[in-house]
A = this chain, B = another copy of it.
Amino acid sequence: MAKPKNAFYAQSGGVTAVINASACGVIETARRYKAKIGKVYAGRNGIIGALTEDLIDTSKESAEAIRALRHTPAGAFGSCRYKLKGLEENRAQYERLIEVFRAHDIGYFFYNGGGDSQDTAHKVSQIGERLGYPIVCVGVPKTVDNDLPFTDCSPGFGSVAKYVAVSIREAAFDVASMAKTSTKIFVMEVMGRHAGWIAAAGGLAAEKKGDAPHIILFPERVFDEAAFLARVDLVVKTHGYCAIVVSEGVKGKNGKFLAESGLRDAFGHAQLGGVAPVIAQLIKNKLGYKYHWAVADYLQRAARHIASRTDVEQAYALGRRAVELAVKGHNAVMPIIVRTANRPYKWELGVANLADVANVEKKMPEDYITEDGFGITRKCRTYLEPLIQGEDYPPYKNGLPHYVRLKNAPVKKKLGGEFKV
């Protein structure tokens, strides 16, 4: 019997609270198919690890360490923001990948990332074919932006959604307590430069009319200062305080991000960033209300301590299924989440072709935002609610989550020379 081919796995782009759960699914499942898959090599810092032949031998990790990936946030092998160019523009990169895969007898390529990464995975499958080194390429979906097509949701999003909804609920309880004599406005900035999925998730914190958040600002809607200020004032006069979720991607009428709308330091350097302080200051200047603001930034996508159990289960299942698809001979595909029922929520795994997935961005439907542009519709809530269900607490040690750090032992290089990335 031929020696089974090794597998290559890499994490790509912005990491999430559950991308390691997918890694866990890939590696644990590969270990169960020893007749078909040899070792799993991970790219150190994503695809760059493949290009530079900087591979990590995951077989050196104990079963316990790999299991702990399921509850460890961020990218255990390192990720990268590095988009391979088109096949014709930079054929050398693709050829290099195949060269490294050939040198290490790699027959499977698992790429854990968003739309760009699925495009890369697709191209690798094409070039492998052409260069006479066929490689089974399977994508594993991941992105907090929730913008991958075909899949009902993207792993990583559900946990950010839960974090954002929990955080705005808690902070709103705080500001409600203080509003009589002090802070009346709370602004929380969340991720989502191109789509309002994450901002929308904040809306889950409101169970009934009047609950926080009272206003959500979406990148899908041009910021209307007058309408916004009028609404803030009305909310404060009605409820005594106003809690606002704002997407980092909100733009003004001039098409520019509000976050870039002119913040300067004392030396005139532009752009310290952050749309929350811009919004808060605007309210203060125009309405006079005392404010507080928060920018969650990485905290939101790294918050494994409050991850959605649904999200963790899906992330793991997609990693597992990616390997199952590969050993069954499927190529250039990506496992996806298929929703089969809303209440109670039911989902199963499906499959999409990388050729169809690549570089297609799923937008938030128009009818997920209320007509006034400041909230989410019932339809949006029906979609989002299942994704934050369940908790999946990590183990704690000394009062803190006990996350694993792998050994990340290097695979001995076989190729001479350096490849410049």
- B-binding residues in A (CB < 8 A): 11, 14-15, 17, 45-46, 48, 72-76, 78-82, 162, 165-167, 169-171, 173-183, 186, 188, 204-205, 207, 261-267, 269, 272-274, 276-278, 280-281, 285, 292-299, 301-306, 308, 385, 388-391, 393, 396, 398-401, 403
How many chain copies?
Answer: 2
Which of B167, B177, B285, B294 meets A79, CB within 8 Å? B177
CB atoms of A277 and B274 under 8 A apart: yes
**Chain B residue contacts of A266, Cβ below 8 A:** 261-264
CB atoms of B401 and A396 under 8 A apart: no
CB atoms of B171 and A298 under 8 A apart: yes
Which of B15, B170, B277 meets A177, CB within 8 Å? B15
CB atoms of B281 and A399 under 8 A apart: no
A353 to chain B minimum Cβ distance, whole angstroms, is 29
CB atoms of B399 and A177 under 8 A apart: no
A311 to chain B minimum Cβ distance, whole angstroms, is 10
**Chain B residue contacts of A265, Cβ below 8 A:** 261-264, 278, 281
Whose C-beta in chain B lies nearest to the C-beta of A293?
Answer: B297
**Chain B residue contacts of A11, Cβ below 8 A:** 177
Which of B179, B272, B276, B293 meets A278, CB within 8 Å? B272
CB atoms of A170 and B294 under 8 A apart: no
**Chain B residue contacts of A403, Cβ below 8 A:** 169-170, 173
Which of B73, B170, B393 meets A173, CB within 8 Å? B73
CB atoms of A296 and B294 under 8 A apart: yes
Taken together as a complex, chains A and B put the C-alpha atoms of A272 and B264 apart, in Å, by 10
Whose C-beta in chain B lies nearest to the C-beta of A167?
Answer: B299
